[in-house]
């Protein structure tokens, strides 16, 4: 994928499902289907955004820190 295409994908992702919203959805345990419905995007796009943004990984690490009693 060319640089311009990557930048365009990142920008469109942020416009349709903002990073903070993606993280919030991941922390809430929402499925890709629920995210797609909430933001009126395709299931494929919702799944891509939730993974490409790192939202699911951030939520997973946040849960691990909370379980271990680590506060930030």
| pLDDT tens, position by position, 28-62 | 999 999 999 999 999 999 999 999 999 999 999 99
Show the tokens assigned to 72: 């930030």
33, part of any domain: yes
- What is this structure's pTM? 0.84
Mean pLDDT, residues 4-26: 95
Residue with tokens 């499902």: 17
58, part of any domain: yes
49, part of any domain: yes
**Residues 2, 72: Cα–Cα separation, whole Å:** 37
25, part of any domain: yes
* pLDDT value at residue 1: 79
Domain count, the chain: 1
17: left (phi over 0), alpha (psi -120 to 50) or beta: beta
* pLDDT value at residue 58: 97
53, part of any domain: yes
> What domain range is 42 assigned to?
19-66
């Amino acid at each position: 994928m060319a640089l311009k295409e990557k930048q365009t994908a990142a920008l469109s992702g942020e416009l349709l499902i903002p990073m903070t919203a993606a993280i919030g959805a991941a922390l809430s345990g929402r499925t890709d289907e629920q995210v797609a419905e909430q933001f009126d995007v395709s299931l494929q796009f919702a799944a891509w955004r939730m993974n490409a943004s790192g939202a699911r990984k951030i939520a997973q690490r946040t849960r691990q820190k909370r379980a271990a009693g680590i506060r930030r």
